[in-house]
Amino acid sequence: MFRTLRGFLTGQEDDGDVYFAYSATLRISGEHLDFDNIRQTLRVSPTHCHRKGERKGQLAPPYAQDMWSYKPPVPGEHPLEEHINALWADIQPAKAYLLTLKETSTVDVFLGYRSNSDTAGLEIPHTCLAMFVELEIPFGLSIIIA
C-alpha cells in the first residue's frame, strides 16, 4: 500500500513513519516597521524578524520589505486548532492595534500543514475562525507534502 502519489508512481515508498506537523504564525510586513512598538504592544517577542534589504543567506535575494512574525510555542505535532487558539489567545488583547496596523502594513496569519502522507486531511472547528473574522483577514492554509 502506498501513502503518497510519488510512492505509487515510482513503486517505492519512504520507510519513515507518517508524520503531521502544524503551525500558526502572525505575520506583519511593510515598510519601516517599528519592531519594538509591535513587540511592546502585542506583549510577545517575535520568533522571526527581518529588515528590507537583508538576506536569508549569501545567495538569497534581499527581502523586499520588513517583516515581524510570531509563532506561539506549541509543538508541531499538536493539532492545528491548538496552534490557532494559542496564537489568538496571545494576540487578541491587541486586536484594535492590529486592525489599525493594517492601514499601513500587511497583517496576516500563516497556517502550515506538513506531512509525508498525501491521503490525509484536517478539520478546523468553527470556534477557531473567530481570529480571522475579528481581524478581517482571510483563512489561508499552506499544505506541504514532502
**Whole-model pTM?**
0.88
Percentage of the chain surpassing pLDDT 90?
A: 76
| 3-state DSSP assignment of residue 125 | coil
CA distance 4 to 8: 6
Lowest mean pLDDT across 12-21, 63-72, 86-95, 100-109: 12-21
Contact 115, 18 (CB under 8 A): yes
pLDDT in tens, 74-88: 999 999 999 999 999
The SS3 assignment for 34 reads coil
What pLDDT does residue 53 have?
96
Distance between first and last Cα of the chain: 18
The string of pLDDT tens digits covering residues 127-136 is 999 999 999 9
